[in-house]
Amino acid sequence: MRTMLDVFRDAVARAPGTEVFGASMAELDAASDAFAAALLDRGFLFGDRLAIAAPDGPNLVIAVVGAWKAGGSAVLADPAASTAELIGLLTESHATVLFSEHDGAHDAVVAHTDVHTVIAGADHLRDLLVLHAGEQPLASAPDAEAIAVDTTTQGAMASAATANRADRIGRLAFAMTAPGGDQR
């Protein structure tokens, strides 16, 4: 069974210089390796979920693909969600790690959810990528099953923003598989 990670790796092999969100596929691949290594270093386990509250762009791709490489899945959160909405999403999804591009206080999120690690702010992400540059992630399960982006939430958490982000991830997957890397 082919996974989205397989599709990503094929796209990198086929066209490493193709630009997606202003970065080459090869750069996104290397950065997602470093991010996956950082996740594993912080206790991320096979099957864990990474909640991502980041706008569309290279950091979103790095986080999603990094979660896959670490043996987990990604839960996409609206970066403009209130603390209460974020707590609701994290509670329902059982995410154990939160990546947020905002440096805001995340104490309430950690206190009321399964989240044990918060990677907050673009500077923190950049520092992690430098620290783990060149590392190849080794997921904690040798026989990883298909891993998908978890873009669904239950009840009131489903939103047009989540659906829009899921559509953009789908377009990214199409761009990676289409000849010439069309980004539509």
Helices (H), 42-159: 58-69, 83-93, 107-112, 122-131
pLDDT in tens, 32-76: 999 999 999 999 999 999 999 989 999 999 999 999 999 999 999
- Domains of the chain by range and CATH? 4-181 (3.40.50.12780)
Measured CA to CA in angstroms, residue 77 lies from 2, 3, 28, 149, 164 at distances of 25, 22, 21, 12, 11
Query: Residue 13: is its pLDDT beyond 70?
Result: yes
What integer best gives the mean pLDDT of the chain?
A: 78
Query: Residue 9: is its pLDDT beyond 60?
Result: yes
Residues whose CB falls within 8 Å of the CB of residue 14, separated by 6 or more in sequence, listed in order = none
Q: Which residue has the tokens 């206190």?
A: 111
Report, as an integer, the average pLDDT of 108-112: 86
pLDDT score, position 107: 82
pTM of the entire structure?
0.74
pLDDT in tens, 73-89: 999 999 888 889 999 99
Instruction: Please tell me the least confidently modeled range out of 94-98, 147-151, 171-175, 176-180.
Output: 147-151
Q: pLDDT category, 101, cuts 50, 70, 90?
A: confident
Report, as an integer, the average pLDDT of 4-8: 92
Better-predicted residue by pLDDT, 47 or 180: 47
Report, as an integer, the average pLDDT of 98-109: 80
Query: Residue 117: is its pLDDT beyond 60?
Result: yes
User: Using CA atoms, how far apart are residues 2 and 106, in angstroms rounded to an integer?
Assistant: 36
Pairing of strands 149-150, 117-120: unpaired
| 3-class secondary-structure state, position 182 | coil
pLDDT in tens, 124-169: 888 888 888 877 665 443 333 333 343 333 333 334 444 444 444 4
